[in-house]
Amino acid sequence: MSSEEIKDIGERIAKASRELYNNGLVKGTSGNISARVPSTETFLIKPSGARMGFLKPEELVLVDLQGKKVSGELDVSLETPMHAAIYRARSDVHAIVHTHPPTATAFGIAKTAILPLQIEMFMLFPNGIPVVPFIAPGSKALAEAVQKKIADYDAVVLENHGIVTVGETIEAACDLNEMVEEAAKIQLLVTQLAGADAVNLARLKQKFKTENPVE
């Protein structure tokens, strides 16, 4: 992997980070984003204390898959252990995004899974988006809990702590992050209009006829 390729990954991370901030998925210094460096056992991650909306490529920290800093002037993100654990568990994952979108975060606080009520959402996460019970941020226990759950899902809600999405590319992980928040908003409106009984995963699967529909 050449320095130019690593520079390109850094620039894409910074651009995605700004978009997440501008779309209201993170505020201040909250949230983090990372991307695997292809053909290596490392990944680039937002440093601790950096603002997503103003992240610069040169601020990113290079970390190995055990969560140890390889290079970079700033401290690693508090959630580096969680990112490293996901990369170790999912070789197909090349980017991870952790944000605090208001509606999806509220679902986590309410310990309520987010369901794919639209066919488009169903195509992205046919089994819904589960809630990982609260564990202290930055802890090994949280990293292990998310690692276990993310083995079967591309998106999870962290109780009292936002959401995590993964993807084959930085852009895919960010797009899914936005779709999770959109799904949460729709589910909130549906339950307000028609009650909680209108939201049922088994009925959704029956209605859409398949667990993995394609266009």
Catalytic residue among 59, 79, 178, 181: 79
pLDDT < 50 regions, the chain: 211-215
> What kind of fold does domain 3-208 have according to CATH?
L-fuculose-1-phosphate Aldolase (3.40.225)
Instruction: Outline where DSSP puts E strands in the chain.
Output: 32-37, 42-45, 61-64, 69-71, 95-99, 131-132, 155-158, 163-167
Q: Which amino acid is at 131?
A: V
pTM for the model stands at 0.93
Category of 195 on φ-ψ map: left (φ > 0), alpha (ψ -120 to 50) or beta: left
Please report the pLDDT score of residue 1 as a whole number. 61
Q: How many CA atoms lie within 13 A of 1 on its CB side?
A: 13
114 near 101, Cβ under 8 Å?
no
Looking at residue 83, its pLDDT comes to 98
Tens of pLDDT, residues 108-137: 999 999 999 999 999 999 999 999 999 999
Q: Give catalytic status of residue 73 as yes or no.
A: no
Question: Each residue of 136-146: b (16+ CB within 10 Å) or e?
Answer: eeeeeebbebb
Return the pLDDT at 210: 59
Question: Contact at 8 Å (CB) between 161 and 4?
Answer: no
- For residue 211, give the 3-state DSSP assignment: coil
User: How confident is the model over 75-100, as pLDDT tens digits?
Assistant: 999 999 999 999 999 999 999 999 99
| For helices 102-109 and 170-194, angle between their N-to-C axes, nearest 10 degrees | 70
